[in-house]
Structure 1
Amino acid sequence: MPDQLPKKSASIDRRTALRGAFAGAAILAAGQATAAAGPARHRTPGLRTGGKEVAIFGGGMAGLSAAHELAERGFRVTVYEPAYLGGKARSLGVPGTGTGGRADLPGEHGFRFFPGCYQNIPDTMRRIPFPGNPDGVLDNLIRVEGTVAGFRDRPPIVAPVEIAGLDQLTPQNLQNSIVSAFGFIPELPPHELAFFGKQMLMWFTSSTERRFGQWEYLTWEQIMRADGKSAAYRAYLVNALTRITVAAKPHLSSARTIGTIGEALVLAGTGLIPQFSGGVDRILNRPTNAAWIDPWVDYLRSRGVQFVMGQRASRLSCAGGRIDSVTVTDAHGTATSVVADHYICAMPVEKTVPLLNDRILAADPHLAGMRELLTDWMVGIQFYLRRPTEIPEGHIAALGSPWALTALRQAPMWVGDFAGQYGDGSVQECFSVDISDWDTPGILHGRPAKQCTAAEIAAEVWAQLKVWLNTGTGWLRDEDIHSWHLDPGISWSGGTTHNETPLLVNTVGSYDHRPYAHCAIPNLFFGGDHVRSHIDLATMESANESGRSAANAIIDAADDPAPHAPVFPLVALPAFEAAKKLDADRFRAGLPHILDI
């Protein structure tokens, strides 16, 4: 019997077709360059100081990006941040580990990587000065050439991260390249790999109307038709690729979201897209704060941006249909009122939702959708080793590991002598690992990460890495471990594990609940990876784009003549346009995609 999708996707009812056609037409009419910008421009009435004073609440990627664009256009910007500038993108030293004049060992929320499909982030980085770099901190990115794929109790495989041999981007060439790229996966039936390639081609040739009207309301597991497939297909192509890339669950995540980032990564891997320069993958050549965040903050200060630390937005006061003040509170509970012309909530969604009081929701009911958004965990741990491993440089994916582990050897790709710069002089390697699945039992303790202590998490992660990477290699040795460092956002209280820094997960239909960068309240704006964007994923890129969109909305609200900050769309291939047009006609007629058979 042929594979079948659930009835909802096998036939498209008129309501779905009309909804998708309306959504797609609206996006196309707005133009891709402004698709994430939202409704028509607003102008804020009754500006207090000529419309140039902006208060930003949250000094993470979105807040800093908005501050950057506004400061360069002459706005007076103050950023209020309760903890750390840089948010989840920052790095931090492990307190008390540096001796003899060396810096503390470098820790972080999770290792940074910069796919070639990112365009907004590189544009920002290029405009941040860095000594000796013609293109500012952008020159601190270095290209990653390969990746290590680990399998349980099998020798790992070293594979290139880029797709070789393509000289023209046609549907057939791209499908063949996708099939070839994943041919290394063990025990994967060839006909299932071919089916995967066909489903990816279906995504590439799906119209905007279908993407928003059908794929948004199906899971990635459904569009890949995982039911009835082999264990290898489900474990590697459906689950592992989703978990390690975006920390998303394939049985919950919107197929449109996963397809969007998958398409962008594939196109970056071809090397044929001028806008996606720099290869599939890049990393920083030193700790994130040293390479990027600290120079960024210094630059913003030089442009007049003020930073008020230790202050968290605790209340939005709405009167007369606009925000008239915001209350900020410090760690001791002392409250202060902030008054400005424009206010940007650049906090994570779980911190923003409690501020949406009845008056705000009455002014813009759509904002209530943020309460429906789901977050999940993706947190990093670093192992400090006395000897370098022999793992090839590049990203490491333990495919099919219970905790969906990915890793990176950082020391070999950083400038300078690691042991001479950090710690007590005996640490030669910083092995940084991201834990993307906190809900699946592990192999050592038989419990999910959320039910483990910090020491148990470290032991479990190391055990899984050895099973997935050591067969035939002996790369990881227990005796090499000097120490480890788990992200400090993880804490324990009353037997419950808490994560201070969860990530947004794009579940089925969640696009409907996500806000634009501005809303019906004319001087209230939003930044963060939960704001609608082109990349549409919890990434630095989407947060940066949201900051740009918020800045542009303020420029409009202030009726300021300054040019907009560029917001870069994803690439649409001309070779696929005819197929997409055909699919748009089929979708409006209530017919499935021509490959959806």
Structure 2
Amino acid sequence: MTDVTVIGGGIGGLSAAQELAERGFDVTVYEANDRFGGKARSMPIADGPEPLHGEHGFRFFPAFYRHVVDTMERIPDGAGTVADNLVETEATLIASTYQPDRIAETGTPDSLRGWLEALRPAFAEDLPADDVRFLLERLAYLLTACEQRREHELDEISWWEFIDAENRSQEFQDRLAFATQSLVALRPEVGSARTIGTIYMQLLFGQLDPTRPTERILNGPTNEVWIDPWIEYLDRLGVEFHPGTPARGLTFDGRRITGVELADGSRANGDEYVLAVPVEVAPEFVTPELARAAPELGRIERLETAWMNGIQFYLAEDVELTRGHQVYADAPWALTSISQRQFWTGYDVDEHGPDEVEGVLSVIASDWETPGIVYGKPAKHCSREQIATEIWEQLKRHLNGPETRLTDELLVDWFLDPALVEVGSRSETHRGDGDAVDGVENRSPLLINTVGALRNRPPADVGVRNLTLAGDYVRTNSDLASMESANEAGRRAANAICRRHGIRDEARIWDLEEPAFLEPFKRQDRIRYRLGLPHPAEVTQSLRTFADRLGGRV
């Protein structure tokens, strides 16, 4: 039996552990936190019996998530599996301070008219016709580009530049800005056209696929309905867990990893090692010797991160809003939210404290650089209490129009992501004095796919004889920093280990799906790329010309 040491108990590490344990490997997982799940974990908001849970941010499973859902389908939970705890959304509320609310249906359409109506908010609503036509032409360019061109050309320009946003209408700029930043904590000015464009299209394709729900969320706090059953299942498979056990380094003899140095001074040994720590932590494990042996490891430190953190507001009444997400189109901190209780069929709020809580509004802030409306400061320069006050006020300004949905009397308590730690001169015991705080530092930032970042993302198998990587910064088909990408990376790490030990039963890896009728155009562009020729739409052609070519090919 081969011993595998996994460093990090987030989604990537647990995914690798499951694939390996199911194939007979002896797996041990070391996790720095006292709870497993990484950025996906939920945690009690207070001491005492049965407290409510708070989270880094709400979980979101669009249709193109294949790897993580497949894993969930193999985790027993009661009479079914953890995947049974996924609940389909129905609509997204797009709230604004200067125009009426808009509703975008997220249920899978069952007619052509339904498809057109579902896509209208993404393409046409409130946008000038010229802008809509141009965006469709750009998306056609993206979809007919070969993979080599996407990787070596489209990854080298920003989404903002690719869609020529600077020369488009203000409505166009606003729509594309909130659509991308709320989704991936990534400003379109710096995000790769390859990543943002690909994920944007995957979300749209998912809405047109009648075989899969467009998007789903969990029916309870993440640990209650996913992570805890996962740990129980892995424990039954023989996986050994060490929570609250941070690692501080790897020992390397020039050819292979010989051990893991733990923070308490002890040492962990194995035959194989999976490094599954977050992107901001990984460079601490890369010694100069390791970087020379595997140059991909040395480039991890060049990857950039951004902040995308959550807060939960606990309410005296259940304010349902829409049965899905809410997007706050002109909120300076790029807010999105979910009113959770309507989905929490697997979790009884009444059985958890505080007693007066009837509703949970979970909010994610994606812009920490823009000044807010209350204190006139970016979120990162506010205290934790100021952040909560600011986000609450931004929500009220968007939701309280003709109908008052949120009032201060409704607010019972709040829970802000504990990864946001106050910095400044005052001590931890004087948390009420917000003015004495310089701001917060984020100890759990998110990888962002900036222009040219792909060249710095390592493969799961980096070429060191017994080391693999499992994190959302690894090169994956999923591409975006997410649970899906982390799960795929864990599978790739497990597959590399299986190949080393002659095991042919590898974990499945899915490609992102795009319409089959586009393949002839991709093949044509592959030839053009090899010949050094530009894509036919390098200088944007008219949509009618593209449609004529498409009609002639199909």
Q: Structure 2 length normalisation: TM-score?
A: 0.91
1:189 alignment partner, one of 128, 136, 146 = 128
Question: What is the CA deviation profile of residues 122-165 of structure 1, one whole-angstrom value per residue up to 9, with x for unaligned ones?
Answer: 110011001122xx000000100111001123221122025746
User: Who is 2:79 aligned against?
Assistant: 132
Counterparts of 1:185 and 1:152, CA distance in 2: 17
The reply to whether residue 317 of structure 1 matches residue 251 of structure 2 is yes
Structure 2 counterparts to residues 156-555 of structure 1, below 5 A = 156-162=101-107, 164=109, 180-182=120-122, 185-186=125-126, 188-237=127-176, 239-272=177-210, 274=211, 277=212, 279-329=213-263, 334-415=264-345, 418-494=348-424, 495-555=438-498
Deviation at 1:424, TM superposition (A): 2.8
Counterparts of 1:581 and 1:179, CA distance in 2: 28
Decide which moves more: 521-530 or 222-231.
222-231
Structure 2 counterparts to residues 565-584 of structure 1, below 5 A = 565-584=507-526
Q: 2:472, 2:483 within 8 Å by CA — same for their partners in 1? A: yes
Distance 1:466 1:318, change over 3 A: same
User: Who is 1:34 aligned against?
Assistant: none
Counterparts of 1:390 and 1:564, CA distance in 2: 43
Question: What is the CA deviation profile of residues 542-574 of structure 1, one whole-angstrom value per residue up to 9, with x for unaligned ones?
Answer: 000000000010111223x35001111111321
Distance 1:320 1:459, change over 3 A: closer
Counterparts of 1:112 and 1:468, CA distance in 2: 23
Question: What is the CA deviation profile of residues 363-399 of structure 1, one whole-angstrom value per residue up to 9, with x for unaligned ones?
Answer: 1122211111001110000001101225122110001
User: Who is 2:60 aligned against?
Assistant: 113
2:266 counterpart SS class: strand
Decide which moves more: 454-463 or 58-67.
454-463
Distance 1:498 1:205, change over 3 A: same
User: Who is 2:546 aligned against?
Assistant: none
Q: 1:153, 1:467 within 8 Å by CA — same for their partners in 2? A: no
Deviation at 1:281, TM superposition (A): 0.8
Counterparts of 2:117 and 2:201, CA distance in 1: 13
Deviation at 1:457, TM superposition (A): 0.6
Distance 1:554 1:444, change over 3 A: same
Deviation at 1:177, TM superposition (A): 7.6
Amino acid at match of 1:293: I
Amino acid at match of 2:69: P
Counterparts of 1:298 and 1:163, CA distance in 2: 34
Q: 2:109, 2:118 within 8 Å by CA — same for their partners in 1? A: no
Amino acid at match of 1:304: G
Decide which moves more: 342-351 or 157-166.
157-166
Deviation at 1:421, TM superposition (A): 1.7
Distance 1:177 1:73, change over 3 A: same
Deviation at 1:107, TM superposition (A): 0.5
Q: 1:94, 1:106 within 8 Å by CA — same for their partners in 2? A: yes
Q: 1:418, 1:428 within 8 Å by CA — same for their partners in 2? A: no
Counterparts of 2:355 and 2:125, CA distance in 1: 40
Counterparts of 2:5 and 2:291, CA distance in 1: 21
The reply to whether residue 592 of structure 1 matches residue 539 of structure 2 is no
Question: What is the CA deviation profile of residues 168-218 of structure 1, one whole-angstrom value per residue up to 9, with x for unaligned ones?
Answer: 9xxxx99x78863435744x3222122222212221222112111210101
Identity %: 39
The reply to whether residue 152 of structure 1 matches residue 97 of structure 2 is yes
2:367 counterpart SS class: coil
Question: What is the CA deviation profile of residues 300-320 of structure 1, one whole-angstrom value per residue up to 9, with x for unaligned ones?
Answer: 000000001222221211114
Distance 1:484 1:116, change over 3 A: same
Deviation at 1:592, TM superposition (A): 3.2
Amino acid at match of 2:306: D
Gaps of 5+ in 1: 1-49
User: Who is 1:29 aligned against?
Assistant: none
Gaps of 5+ in 2: 425-437, 541-554
Question: What is the CA deviation profile of residues 273-303 of structure 1, one whole-angstrom value per residue up to 9, with x for unaligned ones?
Answer: x4xx2x2110111111111000000000000
Distance 1:362 1:412, change over 3 A: same
Counterparts of 2:514 and 2:124, CA distance in 1: 29
Distance 1:183 1:485, change over 3 A: same
Deviation at 1:595, TM superposition (A): 2.9
Deviation at 1:70, TM superposition (A): 0.4
Q: 1:57, 1:80 within 8 Å by CA — same for their partners in 2? A: yes
C-alpha RMSD of matched pairs (Å): 2.0
Question: What is the CA deviation profile of residues 340-373 of structure 1, one whole-angstrom value per residue up to 9, with x for unaligned ones?
Answer: 1001110011111011111111111222111110
User: Who is 1:17 aligned against?
Assistant: none
Counterparts of 2:489 and 2:232, CA distance in 1: 22
Q: 1:161, 1:280 within 8 Å by CA — same for their partners in 2? A: yes
User: Who is 1:60 aligned against?
Assistant: 10
User: Who is 2:41 aligned against?
Assistant: 90
Amino acid at match of 2:88: R
2:20 alignment partner, one of 70, 77, 89 = 70
Q: Structure 1 length normalisation: TM-score?
A: 0.85
Q: 1:396, 1:406 within 8 Å by CA — same for their partners in 2? A: yes
Distance 1:297 1:183, change over 3 A: same
Deviation at 1:418, TM superposition (A): 4.3
Q: 1:62, 1:527 within 8 Å by CA — same for their partners in 2? A: yes
Amino acid at match of 1:61: I
Question: What is the CA deviation profile of residues 239-263 of structure 1, one whole-angstrom value per residue up to 9, with x for unaligned ones?
Answer: 1111111111211111111122112
Q: 1:178, 1:197 within 8 Å by CA — same for their partners in 2? A: no
Amino acid at match of 1:342: E
1:462 counterpart SS class: helix
Distance 1:355 1:231, change over 3 A: same
Deviation at 1:407, TM superposition (A): 0.1
1:227 counterpart SS class: helix
Structure 2 counterparts to residues 25-44 of structure 1, below 5 A = none
2:360 counterpart SS class: strand
